[in-house]
A and B are shown apart, each in its own frame.
Chain A
Amino acid sequence: GDSVTQMEGPVTLSEEAFLTINCTYTATGYPSLFWYVQYPGEGLQLLLKATKADDKGSNKGFEATYRKETTSFHLEKGSVQVSDSAVYFCALSINSWGKFQFGAGTQVVVTP
């Protein structure tokens, strides 16, 4: 079945450091890929998305490129801030009526 695997956390880094969160997927069709972020006590918020191979999603300094050849959608940010501390979820949706599959989430802790 369809699945998403992302690196385990917590990922702890200092402010202004470079962040990478790995995400790989398996899917029978041609999925759309997403990163969602969850701040403490809140629901998930869409961070970025990509709908086809080689698309790059970007938002708030975060980027992720849809790599079909490696079935990956790694999240990156060049310089993190304390406010980026959150749990990040990679997710996929097969192009048939909104069936979503989420990864387990990666907690990111940014220290001053």
Chain B
Amino acid sequence: EAGVVQSPRYKIIEKKQPVAFWCNPISGHNTLYWYRQNLGQGPELLIRYENEEAVDDSQLPKDRFSAERLKGVDSTLKIQPAELGDSAVYLCASSLDQGGKLSGANVLTFGAGSRLTVL
């Protein structure tokens, strides 16, 4: 079974340029996450989807970041325009959300990430 697939793996752009990242989650996983990981830090949630609905986007800088998951499968994260501080690794993860009634241990499966460098 293929894991979470992300592309591109690496992207170098100049500030003020747009950039987009794509993620294809594990087949059947209904929940999809975008995280940002700054150097030397843990992942921080940007947005979480349940199927095609964004259920938590409170940490997404909406003035320049946007995301979509139109058919409830793959997803795109866009930054426009990019700023120097956006340099980071953008991680996509997915899970099969079984809800809090069961074990509660929804396990995240991460992709390899997309490393963005803004010059």
Contacts and interface: CB of A to CB of B under 8 A. Distances in A.
**Looking at chain B's contact residues, is the secondary structure mostly helix, strand, loop, or mixed?**
loop
Nearest to B99: A97
Interface size on B, as a range, is: 20 to 34
B55 interface: yes
* Most central of A32, A44, A49 by chain B CB within 10 Å: A44
Given A43-B112, A43-B113, A97 B45 contact: no
Interface stretch (A11-19, A74-82, A88-96): A88-96
Interface string B39-80: 011111100101000011000000000000000000000000
A104 B41 contact: yes
17 contacts: A30-B104, A42-B112, A43-B91, A43-B93, A44-B43, A44-B110, A49-B105, A49-B107, A93-B106, A96-B100, A97-B97, A97-B100, A98-B106, A99-B48, A102-B42, A104-B40, A105-B41
B111 A93 contact: no
A81 B42 CA distance: 24
Interface size on A, as a range, is: 20 to 34
B87 interface: no
Interface of B: 4, 6, 31, 33, 40-45, 48, 50, 55-56, 91, 93, 95, 97, 99-100, 103-113
Interface in A21-76: 30, 32, 34, 36, 41-46, 49, 51
A51 B104 contact: yes
Given A32-B105, A43-B113, A49-B107, A89 B55 contact: no
